[in-house]
Amino acid sequence: MEYSEMVMDHFKNPRNKGIIKNPDGIGEVGNPICGDMMKIMIKVEDERIIDIKFSTLGCGAAIAVSSIVTDMAKGKTLKEAMKITKQEVAKTLGELPKNELHCANLGADALHMAIIDYYNRIAGKQKDTSREKVDYIGKRKGKCYCPYCDTVFLSETLFCAKCGKPTAGQNK
């Protein structure tokens, strides 16, 4: 197993898992290819995150990232929390396998989206649903597409002519 001790600790003993009833902001992100899905809820008082919880469907890295990013944001002002970068999350967590760095991106993105959602709510704006189409797990029916480079084909094909990777079954 390639995970560091810190990743394993946050995976096995996740901090801040659960839900907040009537949260002030919710951020949801997902990766359509690997299927990870992350939801972060925040409670805000005087521009400060006083409570934060997550629920995550994903690999060990995704769960560990959810745990650490909520730990990092807890108690911070919204401005400070917005400055938490994906690089910082990955660094705090120690080494992450290269192919799972995207999980750190999800964690920072979910946090930022929860904060943006909070600001939108107090400004009375509608929830932005445009991202759901790309963020949620692939539901693109009727077209054969390459899950790697996103090339769409006119008819079913076993392999992507652009990047060469197999597309078999992706159009089901």
Partner 1 sequence: MNTIYFDHISATPLHPLVKETMINFIQNDNFGNPLSQHHIGDAAVEALEGARDQVAQLIHANPEEIVFTSSGTESINHAIKGVAFAKFKKGKHIVSTNIEHQSVARTLRVLMRLGYQVTAIPVDKYGLVDPKDVEKAITEDTILVSIMHANNEIGTIEPIAEIGKITSAKNVLFHTDAVASGGNIPINVDELGVDLLSMAANQFYGPSGAGALYIRPKTEIFPLIDGGTQENNRRAGTQNILGNVGMGKAAELARMEMPQRTEHLLKLKKAFIEKLNTLEEIHINGHPELSLPGLVSVSVEYVEGESMMIMLEGEGICVSTRSACAAGSLRASHVLIATGCDYVTAQGTLIFSFGTGNTLDDIDKAFAALNKSVTFLRSMSPLYKKK
Q: C-beta of 25: minimal distance to partner 1 in Å?
A: 15
d(CA 17, CA 1): 24
The verdict on 17 binding partner 1 (CB under 8 A) reads yes
Helices 60-73 and 101-122 meet at what angle, rounded to 10? 40
d(CA 68, CA 14): 8
Q: C-beta of 118: minimal distance to partner 1 in Å?
A: 19
Q: Who's near 139: CB < 8 A, 6+ residues apart?
A: none
Of 35-43, 71-79, 81-89, 127-135, the window that binds partner 1 (rule: CB under 8 A) is 35-43
- Check if the beta carbon of residue 67 is closer than 8 Å to that of residue 3: no
Ranges within 79-108 binding partner 1 (CB under 8 A): 97, 99-100, 102
Of 50-58, 71-79, 85-93, 118-126, the window that binds partner 1 (rule: CB under 8 A) is 50-58
Among 23, 24, 31, 112, binds partner 1 (CB under 8 A): 31
Instruction: Establish how many alpha carbons lie within 13 A of residue 113's alpha carbon, considering only the half-sphere containing its beta carbon.
Output: 23
d(CA 102, CA 90): 9
Q: Which residues lie near partner 1 (CB under 8 A)?
A: 1-3, 8, 11-12, 14, 17-18, 28, 31-39, 54-63, 66, 97, 99-100, 102, 137-138, 147-148, 158-159, 164, 166, 168-170, 172
